[in-house]
């Protein structure tokens, strides 16, 4: 079976960012890119190099996006890395609060 090349375009980047509920500014900072360049790319501008697109893809993956390559069953897509249950559990853990301390028993 031949390898299927994955190419992320601006609309897929925007969809992934919205799915992960993260701002352009946060994704751009994580990717080491200019916020305006990311916004322009998401709107269809060819402003990013192949290396920058990879940096953006890596940043979106860090925030929980999982990209689905095109295959015989359908086109390119994006989904959440974690299930809804896992996201709820992570949110609960993050909201627990309390002082930070050593937890060695």
User: May I ask the CATH architecture of the domain 10-93?
Assistant: Orthogonal Bundle (1.10)
Confidence of residue 1 (pLDDT cuts 50, 70, 90): very low
Residues 6+ apart with CB under 8 A from 100: none
What percentage of the chain carries pLDDT values higher than 70? 71
**Phi then psi for 12, rounded to 5 degrees?**
-70, -40
- Rounded CA separation 67/93 (Å): 26
Q: Is 66 helix (H, G, I), strand (E, B) or coil?
A: strand
pLDDT, greater one: 83 or 73: 73
Q: Is the pLDDT of residue 4 over 50?
A: no
Residues 6+ apart with CB under 8 A from 17: 23, 24, 27, 42, 60, 63, 65
- Domain limits of the chain? 10-93
- Rounded CA separation 103/82 (Å): 27
Burial class (CB in 10 A: 0-12, 13-18, 19+), 28: buried
């Amino acid at each position: 079976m031949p390898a299927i090349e994955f190419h992320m375009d601006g609309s897929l980047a925007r969809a992934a960012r919205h799915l992960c509920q993260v701002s352009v500014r946060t994704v751009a900072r994580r990717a080491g890119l200019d916020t305006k360049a990311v916004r322009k790319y998401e709107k269809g501008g060819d402003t990013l190099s192949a290396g920058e697109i990879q940096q953006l893809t890596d940043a979106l993956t860090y925030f929980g996006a999982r990209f689905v390559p095109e295959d015989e069953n359908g086109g390119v897509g994006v989904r959440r890395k974690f299930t809804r249950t896992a996201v709820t559990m992570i949110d609960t853990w993050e909201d627990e609060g309390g002082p930070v301390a050593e937890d060695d028993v």
